[in-house]
Amino acid sequence: MKLLLISNSTNAGEAYLAHCIENIKNFLGEKKIKALFIPYAAVTFSFDDYEKKVKDNFQKIGHDIISIHHFENSVEAVENAEAIIIGGGNTFALTKRMQDHGIINAIRNKVLDGTPYIGWSAGSNVACPTIRTTNDMPVTEPVSFDVLKLVDFQINPHYLDAHPEGHAGETREMRIEEFIEMNKSIYVVGLREGTMLEIINNSIKLIGKRNARIFKFGQQPIELTPNDDFTFLLNLKNK
């Protein structure tokens, strides 16, 4: 299994995918790949516009994409994909559309069979067992929150430590603490912007200049660097 799970598409002051495009290039390898792109997280812009934005960047690194919305048979498109890319946007919209097109099991089976998978933001959320650690507003209602289950832990993309002055609401950490209170067996990775997790078979590493914050019920949150061991997150089977 090959996964590249990216926190965000754009760092402040940088171009779209600039911070991770070389990582994507290295992940996909030297042979040109035409990946299947899934734009279903887009809400305020069209699938065509989303496809063009991603395509322009992938072509710069010698690869290409085609969006799933061009295919009459979505499941067949997944089954024939050389790689699968799921972009960011609204996680609830993404999940509902994946359910509506019946592709969740097809993607899971394809990736477990070795097809490379890249997701950023919402695309990282749906690689987890559930979308219940997304930051997004539920603008639509999926049949369930269950998604691809490619990993046994949860990701909170765009993880923030900030608590703005004068803000009396919950911090991100407090919201994750609510999740682990209700889901005691599951780890949550607070994935800060500019970072990503690369998982190849039984290896996992953090890439980027920031630490990841790890949450588990009954334990104090811990900060792990790109030099630390993350393998405890793999093959947990919720134990």
User: Which is catalytic among the residues 113, 121, 152, 228?
Assistant: 121
Summarize pLDDT for 57-115 with one digit per residue, the tens: 999 999 999 999 999 999 999 999 999 999 999 999 999 999 999 999 999 999 999 99
- Does 171 fall in a domain? no
Q: Which domain, by its residues, includes 73?
A: 2-155+191-208
Size of the chain, expressed as the number of residues it contains: 239
User: Which is catalytic among the residues 136, 152, 161, 203?
Assistant: 136
- Does 74 fall in a domain? yes
- Does 220 fall in a domain? no
Question: 17: domain CATH number?
Answer: 3.40.50.880
Pairing type for strands 154-157 and 188-191 reads parallel
- Does 102 fall in a domain? yes
pLDDT score recorded for residue 238: 38
Q: Quick count: other Cβ atoms within 10 Å of Cβ 220? A: 7
Q: Could you confirm whether 144 is annotated as catalytic? A: no
Q: Could you confirm whether 158 is annotated as catalytic? A: yes
Point out the residues of the chain with pLDDT beneath 70: 168, 235-239
pTM, two decimals, is 0.95
User: Which is catalytic among the residues 64, 146, 152, 158?
Assistant: 158
Question: How many structural domains are present in the chain?
Answer: 1
Closest to 124 (Cα-Cα) out of 8, 231, 1, 225: 8
- Does 170 fall in a domain? no
pLDDT score recorded for residue 162: 76
